[in-house]
Each structure stands twice: as C-alpha cells, then as structure tokens.
C-alpha cells in the first residue's frame, strides 16, 4: 500500500463558543471541546485513510487555560503515524478572543482511530511518510505512546514494550 504524507491529513476547524457550550462560570464545557476534537481528528484520520474510522482511544487531555464564552476555538489536527489498521492523530487547540486580539494554546491531545471495512472489521491503511523534522520526531515518539496505550488497555505486557524500555534505558544512562 502506498505511503502518504502527514500534510495531506491536516485539518483545521473553528467553533465559536456560545452560551449553550458553557458552564455556569462562562467557560467552555470540557465535554463539548472533546466532541469538537473528536470530529476534527476523525476528519484528519479519514483524509489519510480515505476510509471510515472509529475512535479507539483518547490520550490525557489537560486543560491549560479556560476557554471563555465568545472565544473562537481553533482545532488543528494531523496524523502523526499510521500502523496496520490504526493511526494516531495529534491535536492542538487554541482559544482566540477576537475583541482583545489574543490567541492562546489551551489544549493538546492524541487520538487513536481504527479504519473499518464495510463489515465493520479493521482494514489496512496507508503508512505515513514524515517529511519535516517535527513530523519525524512525532512519528518516532508515536511508538512509545502506542506501547503505553496498549499497556494501559491490558493488550501488551510491560516487559514487551521495547520502545518504552529503550526510553527508560536512555534516561538511566544519562543519570
């Protein structure tokens, strides 16, 4: 199967935070943001696969700053690595206050998707070919994130996590 470039999956989505999207403090509800992030990352995954995908996991999402009523949320998503039937998508979320002219990063996360065929079974997808230095860094680190996800899901024994072992050994030798 032919490799595809990460830039081909790039997706950007904008949403205006309206009263129905906020909690009693006037902040964007976390669940609404996760919903938007899921949509944006799924579009990036589908661009890479040219196929329907389903969300398999969402990594830790930390809220670095509140997103306020009236802010414009910009979500940027791009595939970082494709495996056999699954792929990882990195997202960055920015909150822009148009009247003040501010634009600050509020979140970052990684989503994992699985491509499915017409019968709902996992389907092989194109591999990803990183082009830039940052894409290569994210691509290489994706193996460590994947192993950690699989350990947490009970699908991989910690002793078999070779990429994580290599990372730990690297720190042991530096210390």
Q: Which residue has the tokens 């309206």?
A: 18
8 Å CB contact between 130 and 144: no
pLDDT score for 3:
93
Average pLDDT over all residues of the chain: 92
In terms of phi and psi (left: phi > 0; alpha: psi -120 to 50; beta: otherwise), the region of 41 is: alpha
* pLDDT at 24 exceeding the cut of 90: yes
Are 6 and 79 in contact by the 8 Å Cβ rule? The answer is yes
17 in Cβ contact with 73 (< 8 Å)? yes
* Phi and psi at residue 172, to the nearest 5°: -60, -40
pLDDT for position 110: 96
Q: Is the pTM of this model over 0.85?
A: yes
Q: What is the mean pLDDT of residues 142-157?
A: 84
Q: What confidence category does residue 79 fall into, taking pLDDT thresholds of 50, 70 and 90?
A: very high
Under the banding of pLDDT at 50, 70 and 90, the label for residue 60 is: confident
Tokens of 47: 């661009």
Tell me the pLDDT band of 62, cut-offs 50, 70 and 90: confident
Q: Which of 21-35, 54-68, 111-125 comes out lowest in average pLDDT?
A: 54-68
Q: How far is the C-alpha of 49 from the C-alpha of 53, rounded, in Å?
A: 8
Does position 123 have pLDDT exceeding 60, yes or no?
yes
The C-alpha atoms of residue 154 and residue 53 are separated, in whole angstroms, by 22
Measured between alpha carbons, how far is 141 from 94 in angstroms, rounded to an integer?
Answer: 23
In which band, very low, low, confident or very high, does the pLDDT at 175 lie, cut at 50, 70 and 90?
A: low
Which residues touch 162 (CB under 8 Å, ≥6 apart)? 147
* DSSP secondary structure of 143-159: HHHHHHHHHHTTSS-GG
């Amino acid at each position: 199967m032919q490799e595809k470039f990460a830039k081909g999956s790039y997706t950007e989505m904008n949403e205006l935070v309206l009263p129905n999207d906020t909690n009693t403090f006037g902040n964007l509800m976390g669940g609404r943001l996760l919903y938007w992030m899921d949509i944006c990352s799924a579009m990036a995954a589908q661009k890479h696969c040219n196929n329907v995908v389903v969300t398999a996991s969402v990594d830790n999402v930390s809220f670095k700053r509140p997103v306020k009523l009236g802010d414009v949320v910009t979500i940027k998503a791009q595939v970082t690595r494709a495996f056999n039937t699954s792929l990882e998508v990195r997202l960055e979320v920015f909150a822009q206050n148009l009247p003040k002219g501010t634009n600050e990063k509020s979140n970052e996360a990684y989503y994992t998707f699985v491509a499915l065929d017409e019968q709902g079974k996992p389907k092989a997808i194109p591999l990803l070919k990183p082009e830039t230095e940052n894409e290569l860094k994210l691509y290489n680190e994706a193996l460590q994130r994947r192993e950690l996800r699989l350990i947490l899901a009970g699908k991989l024994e910690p002793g078999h996590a070779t990429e994580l072992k290599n990372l730990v050994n690297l720190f042991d030798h530096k210390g």
